[in-house]
Amino acid sequence: MYCKDYVVKELAAHLPELTLEEVESGIEIPKEKSMGDYAFPCFRLAKTMHKAPQLIAAELAQKLQNSDIVEKVEAVGPYVNLFLDKTWRASFILGQVQEAEKEGRAFGSSTVGEGKTVVLDYSSINVAKPFHIGHLRTTVIGNSLSRILQFLGYRTVSMNYLGDWGTQFGKIVVAFQKWGNREEVEKRGVRALNELYVRFHKEAEENPELNEEAREVFTSMEHGNEEALALWRFFVDVSLKEVSRVYELLDVKFDTYLGEAYFWNKTDKLIQILTEKGLLQESEGAKIVDLSEDNMPPCLILKKDGSTLYVTRDIASAMYRKETYDFYKCVYITGMEQSLHFAQWFKVCEKMGFEWSKDLVHIPYGLVSLEGEKLSTREGHVIYLQDLLNEAIDKTKEIMEEKNPDLDNMDEVAEQVGVGAVVFHDLFNNRIKNVTFSWDQVLNFDGETGPYVQYTFARASSVLRKAGFDPAVDQEIDFSALTDEYSQEILKLVEVFPKRVEEAAQKWEPYMVTRYTVMLASAFNKFYHENSILTAEETVKKARLRLTYVVAQLIKQGLYLIGVKAPEKM
């Protein structure tokens, strides 16, 4: 329930000619505060009531004069402007928070998703390839969406759909057999593998038969070449071990790592369906599905040699997901350069007659650049995520050592703040917007940043600590102590938290939660600077502490939903 619902009820009680829905859709939020919290235009009523809208507005305002929930009501021309009673607002909103608390559920959480499973395919790293800064976005967007969905009662399945199959593995195996050694790879991990890969491409320029060799090795892997497969398994292990540290730092967990390799030989059924439906066409020896009717290039399903492609494995994997999880939605979070890929095979699924193809969702995002330069995996341009996060932690520690040298658990906090800053920055904008990464911006403690929000949380926590605040006691609050402008601004934000989270889920946009935490933090900082809390008169102090507590809880919750930790001290 929102304050607005009450306003609707009050208005409707005096407007028998309108339904609740009609009243609700008529209500406006005035742009200027001086016009009240809500405005109700009376033009539409003029016809049915056979009266001038000004007159209707004046009469309606008169009738609302005695309402408990309005402090002031004015008729301005054809409008009725309503000012909500501030004490009522405080008691209503904080009452809802307290009620949730009593019931042992987080304010804003819900059960709308109960019984529904959402499969989230994100991070989905490529084995033996650098886990670089470009993968940060899929990882943090996916993690945040999975937390948001869980908060709304959905069951989620987080899938790291490993890029662990394809001709490139023939190349790495050949390169390793020629120039690699095990100790080196064990010690330097993916960096060593990537170097082998880069070397392969260089040498293949001089020596093109290497490509043929790699192709043959890969084909032999599909036919069970144990020696090559053992190496492949070794590369998978090395890659997974290496990324696990990054996942730990980001606090990201997956339910499964079932990747492409699992699906390459599970495509019989899909080929059969495509064939039966007459969708498969021959083109230069390969098998394709024509999509010209849908204004897309043809979708290549099988290569000349009969081997599968990325897209084939994606279709097989989607079928598996439907069968295994019976998903309500299956979402794929990747850079927008893959948009056509997903559009194509979603279409193919539709043509195959899969009713659930409508539940496949591609969630694209824009590019990350560093000072305007595109980050590619080309030699010399790779920025490993691990290095980036470590640098964030180091830089944060430097800043913290200056700001608060006596902090006990400096390393832990520097990690939470440094990593949090990077994640926060990545989730600050609309997904599709390109992100430019600059340290000054990411680690600015005063801007719209992670550290700023975390700092606000620590500040609120410190106030509560000093006061010895216990949320279980002091439940009786004099809400009239929260009628000042700053408290009211906070209350309005508290009220919309559940809506923001729901919207973020609906639009698959974590930034809505990120921005919310900034707004709440800055409203709290204003309140904190303008109002004394600890030295206020007892009833006022009690009320302000309660509000502080609610803010702290919500900031922490909001940060959790975007995958950022909230240290109590910093």
The residues of the shown chain that bind ligand ARG, judged by CB under 6 A, are 121, 124, 126, 161, 163, 314, 332, 334
Select 10 or 314, whichever has its Cβ closest to ligand ARG.
Answer: 314
Other beta carbons less than 10 A from residue 325's beta carbon: 17
Q: In the numeric block, which tokens belong to residue 130?
A: 């650098």
| DSSP-based three-state secondary structure for 436 | strand
| DSSP-based three-state secondary structure for 158 | strand
Centroid of chain to Cα 120:
11
Select 312 or 487, whichever has its Cβ closest to ligand ARG.
Answer: 312
Distance of closest approach, residue 132 Cβ to ligand ARG, in angstroms: 10
Measured from each CB, the residue nearest to ligand ARG is 163
Select 364 or 510, whichever has its Cβ closest to ligand ARG.
Answer: 364
How far is 123 from 53, CA to CA, in rounded Å? 57
DSSP letters spanning 20-41: HHHHHHH-B--SSGGG-SEEEE
Distance of closest approach, residue 25 Cβ to ligand ARG, in angstroms: 41
Distance of closest approach, residue 213 Cβ to ligand ARG, in angstroms: 25
Select 122 or 151, whichever has its Cβ closest to ligand ARG.
Answer: 122
Q: In the numeric block, which tokens belong to residue 356?
A: 């659930």
| DSSP-based three-state secondary structure for 435 | strand
On whether the CB atoms of residues 184 and 133 are closer than 8 A, the answer is no
| DSSP-based three-state secondary structure for 447 | coil
Select 254 or 332, whichever has its Cβ closest to ligand ARG.
Answer: 332
Q: In the numeric block, which tokens belong to residue 349?
A: 């699924």
Beta bridge partners of 283: 286
Longest dimension (CA), the chain: 92
User: What's the 3-state SS for 61-127?
Assistant: HHHHCCCCCEEEEEEECCEEEEEECHHHHHHHHHHHHHHHHHCCCCCCCCCCCCCCEEEEECCCCEC
How far is 363 from 431, CA to CA, in rounded Å? 9
On whether the CB atoms of residues 479 and 87 are closer than 8 A, the answer is yes
Distance of closest approach, residue 61 Cβ to ligand ARG, in angstroms: 58
Using CA atoms, how far residue 542 sits from 73, 106, 527, 539, in Å, is 30, 22, 15, 5
Distance of closest approach, residue 353 Cβ to ligand ARG, in angstroms: 21
Select 318 or 464, whichever has its Cβ closest to ligand ARG.
Answer: 318
How far is 280 from 272, CA to CA, in rounded Å? 10
Q: In the numeric block, which tokens belong to residue 312?
A: 């084939």
Distance of closest approach, residue 331 Cβ to ligand ARG, in angstroms: 10
Distance of closest approach, residue 134 Cβ to ligand ARG, in angstroms: 9
Select 135 or 541, whichever has its Cβ closest to ligand ARG.
Answer: 135
Distance of closest approach, residue 324 Cβ to ligand ARG, in angstroms: 15
Distance of closest approach, residue 334 Cβ to ligand ARG, in angstroms: 5
Distance of closest approach, residue 307 Cβ to ligand ARG, in angstroms: 17
How far is 369 from 346, CA to CA, in rounded Å? 29
Select 92 or 131, whichever has its Cβ closest to ligand ARG.
Answer: 131
Select 121 or 509, whichever has its Cβ closest to ligand ARG.
Answer: 121
Distance of closest approach, residue 328 Cβ to ligand ARG, in angstroms: 18
Select 83 or 310, whichever has its Cβ closest to ligand ARG.
Answer: 310
On whether the CB atoms of residues 56 and 45 are closer than 8 A, the answer is yes
Select 89 or 322, whichever has its Cβ closest to ligand ARG.
Answer: 322
How far is 528 from 519, CA to CA, in rounded Å? 14
